[in-house]
Amino acid sequence: MTASKRTRIGVAAGRLAGALSRTLTRGQGATISGRVINKIAPNALEELADGQRVTLVSATNGKTTTTRFLATALTTAGRTVTTNSTGANLTSGIAPTLAGAPGPGDAVLEVDERVLPRVIDPLAAELLVLGNLSRDQLDRYGEVHAVSESWRTTMQSHPGVAVIANASDPHVVWAAMPGKVTWVALGLGWRSDAATCPECGALLTWSTDRFDCPKCGFAQPATDTVLDGDTLVLDGTRIPLDLALPGRWNLANAALAVTAAAHLGVDPTQAAESLKSVTSVAGRYMHVPLGDGRSARVLLAKNPAGWTEVLRFLHRRDTAVVIAVNARVADGKDPSWLWDVPYELLRGHENAAAGDRRLDVAVRLRYAEVDHEIERDPVAAARELDGDEVHIVASYTQFSALYRKYGGGA
């Protein structure tokens, strides 16, 4: 399909709007560019996706990194790849991404959980990669069950679409079951948003490696594709996941990406090998200089599930930690989730509370019996802490501000 005149005009106008945004230092311009394109040409997504083999990656946590991993694997295999590498995952971000495609090839697109059902048809998606579903910005998105139900309805109306899905998350299993699924057992992590069976409402039972409903039989699906420590078992082959990025959560992201790459025709061992080259993802894991010979590594955490994974990782390290939290629109304005995160894991570390909601963080740390300093600016807070290693764990808008200042992002 050749793009219509309307879409061509929309793309040109969008690029102009994006360039103006960059000139005025209002950001990289992707969002305003996409809004202009979609306003002028309502069918732009369908036309711009023509000629692309589209994979959509969605989850509450990890979708940006999983997208980057999969795009890297395909690119290393010699494929022509178009991807929204900055994490612009609404239709306003997807449109300019596709408009910039160098030609036919693979489009690997991160998609917001709520947006996923709306873009499968216009993008003619061939493959969905579904990570986890957990509580996130309740004041904007509502309960996890609502997102899961929306995904399930989408799967029921698209039974032919291939799906790579997390077998260890009850909400994802419930949502993906009607589809054509390859399950990947990633291990049980955050459970606090999945107490009840999505099928019948009974309490789920959890063992060390699976979940089951004692009432209706809903359970973790059996699969031979399993993340075993730092190794992916795929079709009987053990594939080491030797990553530059830290944390168990990135092993889970890599497992999904390698499984998806294999589905798309890439040798999984070669795909896994290519992931070693990924050292930062849209500013995640960047290092910020502290001016005293040290640097602080920046980690993004956006919700209780993500914070818990990060704190488990930091708990085992000899590191100072800055907790930098805002509660702006993009973060979710309700910071009550602080009480669902096990900040007790930071006992014995050098710690500081930073950001707009540093006093909320300080109260939570006090109840957790975690010693801490209080300083609004996270980099200044990091300078005040002793130790050779420092991590700044930041909520979304705090992370974005650091990325703009130190990482060149928007």
Instruction: Decide: pTM greater than 0.85.
Output: yes
At 408, the pLDDT band (50, 70, 90 cuts) reads low
At 291, the pLDDT band (50, 70, 90 cuts) reads very high
Alpha carbon 170 to its chain's center: 18
Q: Is the model's pLDDT at 30 over the cut of 80?
A: no
**Three-class DSSP category at 62:** coil
Does residue 175 share a domain with residue 318?
no
334-390, pLDDT tens digit by residue?
889 999 999 999 999 999 999 999 999 999 999 999 999 999 999 999 999 999 999
Burial degree of 386 (CB within 10 A; 0-12, 13-18, 19+): exposed
Contact 114, 136 (CB under 8 A): no
Instruction: State the residue for tokens 């309960």.
Output: 143
Percent of the chain past pLDDT 70, that is, above it, reads: 96
User: Of 30, 129, 112, 133, nearest to 71 (Cα)?
Assistant: 129
Interatomic CA distance for residues 351 and 392, integer angstroms: 10
Does residue 171 share a domain with residue 71?
yes
User: Of 304, 113, 302, nearest to 191 (Cα)?
Assistant: 304
At 141, the pLDDT band (50, 70, 90 cuts) reads low
Q: Is the model's pLDDT at 137 over the cut of 80?
A: no
Give me the CATH number covering residue 77.
Answer: 3.40.1190.10
Does residue 104 share a domain with residue 160?
yes
E-strand stretches of 23-157: 52-58, 81-83, 105-110, 127-130
Indicate whether 282 belongs to any domain.
no
At 410, the pLDDT band (50, 70, 90 cuts) reads very low
Beta 205-206 vs 211-212: how paired, if at all? antiparallel
Q: Is the model's pLDDT at 159 over the cut of 60?
A: yes
Mean pLDDT in residue range 295-299:
96
Give me the CATH number covering residue 316.
Answer: 3.90.190.20
Percent of the chain past pLDDT 90, that is, above it, reads: 74
Q: Which domain holds residue 94?
A: 49-277
Interatomic CA distance for residues 102 and 100, integer angstroms: 6
| H or E element at residue 209 | none
Mean pLDDT in residue range 163-174:
96
Q: Is the dihedral of CA 157, 159, 164, 166 positive or negative?
A: positive
Q: Is the model's pLDDT at 142 over the cut of 70?
A: no
Please spell the DSSP secondary structure of 139-188, one letter per residue.
HHH--HHHHHHHHHHHHHH-TTSEEEEETT-HHHHHHHTTSEEEEEB---
Contact 130, 172 (CB under 8 A): yes
Where does a domain end: 239, 256, 277? Answer: 277
Interatomic CA distance for residues 82 and 324, integer angstroms: 33
Interatomic CA distance for residues 402 and 363, integer angstroms: 24
Does residue 55 share a domain with residue 24?
no
Domains: count for the chain = 3
At 409, the pLDDT band (50, 70, 90 cuts) reads very low
Indicate whether 337 belongs to any domain.
yes
Does residue 185 share a domain with residue 125?
yes
In this prediction, residue 205 carries a pLDDT of: 94
A 10 A CB-CB count for 98 gives: 25
Mean pLDDT in residue range 224-245:
96
At position 366, the amino acid (one-letter code) is R
Mean pLDDT in residue range 218-226:
96
In this prediction, residue 391 carries a pLDDT of: 97
Does residue 125 share a domain with residue 7?
no
238-287, pLDDT tens digit by residue?
999 999 999 999 999 999 999 999 999 999 999 999 999 999 998 899 99
Interatomic CA distance for residues 103 and 8, integer angstroms: 15
In this prediction, residue 177 carries a pLDDT of: 96
Does residue 244 share a domain with residue 347?
no
Interatomic CA distance for residues 393 and 276, integer angstroms: 23
In the DSSP assignment, the letter for residue 284 is B
At position 221, the amino acid (one-letter code) is P
At 58, the pLDDT band (50, 70, 90 cuts) reads very high
Q: List, in order, residues 6 or more apart from 89 with CB less than 8 Å away.
A: 63, 64, 109, 110, 111, 112, 115
At 84, the pLDDT band (50, 70, 90 cuts) reads very high
Indicate whether 25 belongs to any domain.
yes
Burial degree of 166 (CB within 10 A; 0-12, 13-18, 19+): buried
Does residue 22 share a domain with residue 38?
yes
Q: Is 387 left (phi over 0), alpha (psi -120 to 50) or beta?
A: left
